Structures are given as C-alpha cells and as structure tokens.
Structure 1
Amino acid sequence: MKLLITGANGLLATNTIKHFLELGHSVKGLLRNKQKFVLPSHPNLELVQGDITDKSAVENAVKDCDAVIHIAALTAPDLPNYDSYYKVNVLGSENLVKSAINHQLKKFIYVSSANAMGFGTLENPGTETTPLKPPFTESLYAKSKLEAQEKLFSYADKIDVVMVNPTFMLGPHDGKPSSGEIILMGYGKKFIFYPPGGKNFVDVRDAARGISAALEKGENRETYLLAGQNLSYKEFFQKLVERSATKSVMIKVPRQLLLIAGYGGDFIRKLAIKTSVSSANMKILSVKNYYSAKKAEEKLGVHFHPIDQAIDDAIDWFHENGKL
C-alpha cells in the first residue's frame, strides 16, 4: 500500500512513517521543508514539499496513493485569533479529503486531538463520547480540531473517514522539538516550576501503532482516543528528576498566579501580539485532563504502555542530537 502522510517532519508523523516503512509499505511524506526531516533516506519513502493550504500541492501529493493519513496541523499556542487555525486545520483538511475523493481513495485517517474531546478524572476519565467542556472550549486550537472533525465527517458518504485522537505525545525523533519541549523544560534543571494540573501522556510509537490499526480496522465515522498514562504535572516532572543527576527543587505555581498572568496575556493578544500566555492556556494548565483508551484497545487491538520508556528514549534522542 502507498500512503500519503502529511506533516512528515513532525514528531508523530516521523514515527508513523518509520512504523509503516518497517511494515513494508511505501510512503509519500508531505512537508513544508525537506531539510528538517530527521529520518535517513529510504527506498520506499518519497518526500514531497508543499502546504496543505495549497490545492495544487495537495493534488500532487495525493496522486498515486491508496490512503491518506492526515497529521499536519497548526498547533502553535501563541496565535491571537482563530483565522490562522481555521485556514490550516479546517480548510487545509478539507482540501485533502476533497482531493482524496477525486482520486478515488478508499480511506482517510484524520489525526485530531484529545483536546477536541471532553476530559475526565482519574477515576472517570474522558472517552470518545465525553462532550468538550471548559477550559478547552476557550482554546482556539481545540475549536479548530473539533470543527475539522465535523467538516471531514460530512464527506464520510464518499470516502471512509476515521478519526484518531492522541493525547500528549512523547518519544524519539522530536526534531523541532514539539511536545518534547516539556522534557527540555524540566530535565537537569535546578528549579522546576510546575502547574497544578495534569494530563494524559502517550508514547508516540503507541500512537503510530494506533494509526496503523485504524487504517486496518477503523470503521467509517468512528473516533478512537489514543491515550496512555494519566499523570499530574508534579508526577511527570518527578520522573524527570529521577532520571537526572541534578538535585532539583520542585515549586508548584498557584492557579491564581497562572490566571493573573493569563489575563495579562489576553490583553497583549488584543494588541495582535503573539504570546502563548492566555487565560485559556493557563486554565488548561490548572486542570487534570485525563482520558481513557479503552475503545481503541478493544476495537483496534492497540496496547498502550506506561510513559517511562518514551521519556527515556526522548532524553536519549535529545542527547544524541545536541538538544540536551
């Protein structure tokens, strides 16, 4: 099978490409800059430079493929308005599914986000049927992913559309880095400031296997959470402390202090200045947004591991590539 995988130089896409190449598939990777791709060349891998908002680039990428795995997304937390997220995450996704239909592809795998689903507690974690709730209803990114899901499902009578919603991914090959930035923020630091909330952490290779299983077993119009281990930020950073030779002091940042900073960030955003500090983002850091992968485990047969190995392998990869 020949697969188009978008966002090819991102953490998840890179590990997904590696997974499918190991299975013997051919992969066409769509990305904006070939120079940032971190894997070695492979005879079954073709890199195509382009942007999902460019319809001609999308047509060229989809051509000759059997299925699309759409991972590319605008995830930047610092943009002050919704238009940029909408253009990439909604309209760009629509460009891809329309092209896939035009080329008579059979399956379209959309990688959304757990942020587009409602979270739960440690005792009652969020599932695919939990409705989105505050503070994620205030997140421009989450709003765009949810709108993209609805837009893509509107085409499910013309092509099989399957959604997978990973949580916060960690692991090797994080070239930017993206989510691995949380490791660089805490590993080896003398002082670690952590927020009061928590989140679900998933090994990026488990997420890649989840995508593979969704391609094989996922049903049209269905959504599957790809979730690993629920941890408070304190518990997560303690894992980094255990792996470092540095004697770190951990300091909890109070919710009220985060909110004060967030409202200040809101004012800065009104001046059209980019900042990742906003009331929505600070509220998100203050809640424990936990999820369950029970449906993916039962329906797709995917097993999700504790996050420890992903942390170890991410640290090793950052060391090997001069980021630590």
Structure 2
Amino acid sequence: MNPAPQTAFVTGATGLLGNNLVHLLLERGVKVRGLARSRRKALQQFGTIDGLEIMEGDMEDVTGFAGALAGCDTLFHTAAYFRDSYGGGKHWEALKRINVDGTDALLNASYQAGIRRYVHTSSIAVVNGPRGSIIDETMKRLEEDADDYYRSKILSDAVVNAFLARHPDVFGVFVMPGWMHGPGDMGPTAAGQFTIDFLKRALPGVPPSTVSFVDARDVARIILAALEKGRHGEHYLAAGRHMHMREVMQAYEAVTGIKAPRRDIPAALLWMIAYLQELNARLTGKPALLSVATVRTMRDEYERSRFNPEKTSRELGINFRPVAETIRDEVGWLKAQRLLEA
C-alpha cells in the first residue's frame, strides 16, 4: 500500500471531477495545488480554502506552469479536452494537442520536478465489447473503432504506458470514469446541462441511448484509493451503473417530482436535427446543440455501457452510492448556485 499524498498537484481542478477530488484531498489533510485556466472561475468554485493554492495555466502550455510542480509528491491528471469536441465540426488537432501531447509534456515536467506518483484519468472510451456484454478493463478498444475523442483517450493512455515503461521508479495507475454527475458542475458538463434541461422541462423526449451513470464524488474516491491501494500500471473502472436514458429520466422524476418525458425520439429524427445543427454552427459560429458526433456516439455505444465493477470493488474497496442520492445532491447544488436562472 502506498502512503497518502502530502502535497498533490491536480489538473482540471475546477472541472466536475477535479473539484470533487480537490475537496476530498483537502478533507484528508492533503495540501493541493490546483491547475485552472481561470483564477476567477477557481475562486468562484472554491472561494478561499486553507490548503488550496490555485495555479493558473493551461494544458496547451505545460511549460507555463511546470515550475509549480516542484514540491509536490503526487500528480492527479483530470484535465481533458472533451466538451467542445462534441459541439460540431472537427477537433482532432486540439484533441491531440491537449489530451495526447499535453499529457506527455505534463508527465515529463512532473518527472523533472521530482514527482514519482501519478494517477491518470482515463475513460470508459478505451474499452469496448459486443452489445449487451459486460465489459471489463481488459477489453481494449481498437483505434479504428473510436471517434476522435475516444481515439485521443486511447493514445493518451499509450503515452502514459510508454512513460511508465521508461521510468520504472514512477508509480502510475489509471482510473476510467463513466458519465459523471454530482454537485460542483459549474461548467456545466453535458451531464450537468442534461440535469438543467430536465429541471426546465426542456427535454423533448427519450433518445435511444444507454449510459453508465456515476457520481463524480465516487470517482474521486476511486482515484485516491487507486493511488493508495492500486497496482502499478493497472486500469480501474469507475463507470457506475448501466441505465437506459428512460431509466435515468424516471430516476430524475422520482427525486424531483417533475414529470419525465414519455415520448421516444426516433434515431432518424436525431440524425436530421444533428445535421441541421451542424449546418447552423458553420453559418453562425455557435456550437451545435446536438452534433453528428454525439448522435454517432449514442448509436455506437448503445447497450455497450455495462461495465464490470468487480476489480474496483475487490482491490480498492469502493462501491457506488445510490443514483437518487447523486441526483438529489446535484439538483440541490445547481439550485443553490442559481445556475437554473442562466
């Protein structure tokens, strides 16, 4: 078992996962340096908390914040380019620059700074299986079966594995989240926007989609447990529960009392809307509310969201809280932050 960190560096500190990890580390008495692209947003997210130092910087320019890595004993990498890649258009250059090349630069800078313990936030994107099957950490996705974002996560994992092979004195481990929800989603992420749209009764119907629903706080607990109890070089799923989107909406209805949509949205209609949204995005410069990439992912990943939690439960001792608890806390946080008024 590895010792608990004393001073940790967390990338993506203001993100849904990152901020919950920061809070967990602070609760455990760990000093944290949190990387954020905007100090203003970080202050809005955290306020002033003892033990937290905000480092302003960007994964596109690791050299700009590399000096802040010195004095840290552990690196938690949660930052990734994701949301914009599903906003219409092509984003491969940015995905590779941030998720792949940025990870490589971060690892090398952290090694030069003396850090020898690393937890990499991977993704369920790197594994795959037949429809309806139960997918585990060994079932690797092929690059040719991946969209651009999924491909960037596969290549990011490859960068980490190559780094660990070159540096046997570094302990490294991977955690693979599913569709994360929970309090602290200031962005908001697509998950947070889904919750906002549900509360505003703005969802037109039920799409043909399945997801792996997980609380970001549980993912944060798995990340810390992977550092302290995990095995070097191993992947650990933090995917949560397989749910059809109809089940997700019904769970929201049970918690909030707001009636969930009942009408199914045909796949053909989703494709038509996505193509029209992409056309509008090209004409106006605004992101597509529903992109072709999103619909394609919904189609390809349908009934491929059953992930086996056995390894994570057995080796790390972590299980997942009830979905209703996550929804209740997420909705309460959004209301407290007045994000429903935006």
Match of 1:153 in 2: 161
Q: Distance in 2 between matches of 1:313 and 1:119?
A: 32
The CA deviation at 1:289 is 2.9
Does 1:15 find its partner at 2:20?
A: yes
The aligned residue for residue 70 of structure 2 is 63
Inter-partner Cα distance in structure 1 for 2:279 and 2:146: 15
Alignment partner of 1:281 is 2:294: yes
CA RMSD, 1 decimal: 2.4
Determine whether 1:311 maps to 2:320: no
- Percent identical among aligned pairs is 27
Deviations 1:147-166 (A, max 9, x none): 10001110103122211110
Report the Cα distance in structure 2 between the residues aligned to 1:126 and 1:272, rounded to whole angstroms: 40
1:47 aligns with 54
Query: Unaligned stretches of 5+ in structure 2?
Result: 1-5
Q: 1:170 aligns with which of 181, 190, 201?
A: 181
Shift of 1:138: 4.2
In the TM superposition, residue 88 of structure 1 has moved relative to its aligned partner by 0.6
- Say if 1:13 and 1:71, in contact at 8 Å, map to a contact too: yes
Moved more, 143-152 or 282-291: 282-291
Is the alpha carbon distance of 1:133 and 1:267 closer, same or farther for their aligned partners in structure 2, counting shifts above 3 Å?
Answer: farther
C-alpha deviations, 1:241-283, integer Å up to 9, x for none? 2233444542211122223444556777899965364444213
Deviations 1:275-314 (A, max 9, x none): 3644442132231331222211112121112321111000
| 3-state SS of paired residue (2:103) | helix
| Alpha-carbon separation, structure 2, partners of 1:278 and 1:190 | 17
Contact 1:30/1:61, CA 8 A, preserved across alignment: no
Whichever residue aligns with residue 127 of structure 1, its letter is: D
Structural mapping, 1:205-244, within 5 Å = 205-244=217-256
C-alpha distance in structure 2 between counterparts of 1:220 and 1:194, whole Å? 41
- What displacement does 1:172 show? 0.6
Q: 1:115-147 CA deviation, whole Å, 9 max, x = no partner?
A: 22215656x32111123269x934211111111
Partners of 1:87 and 1:276 in 2: CA distance: 24
Cα distance in 1, alignment partners of residues 140 and 14 from structure 2: 31
CA distance in structure 2 between the aligned counterparts of 1:171 and 1:83, rounded to whole angstroms: 30
Match of 1:155, SS?
Answer: helix
Shift of 1:190: 6.8
Alignment of 1:115-264 (within 5 A): 115-119=125-129, 124-132=133-141, 137-157=145-165, 158=167, 159-178=170-189, 179-189=191-201, 192-262=204-274
SS at match of 1:30: strand
3-state DSSP of counterpart to 2:65? helix
Q: Separation in 1 of the partners of 2:185 and 2:292? A: 28
Q: 1:277 to 1:181 in 2, by over 3 A?
A: closer
The letter of the residue matching 2:15 is G
Mark the CA change 1:58 to 1:250 in structure 2 (over 3 Å): closer, same or farther: same
- Which amino acid is 1:153 matched to? N
Q: Which residue of 1 aligns with 2:99?
A: 89
| Alignment CA distance shift 1:12-1:120 (3 Å) | farther
Rounded to whole Å, the distance in 2 between the matches of 1:153 and 1:58 is: 23
| CA–CA separation in structure 1 for the residues paired with 2:180 and 2:276 | 29
Residues 271 and 126 of structure 1, relative CA distance in 2, 3 Å threshold: farther
Pick one of 62, 73, 81 that aligns with 1:74: 81
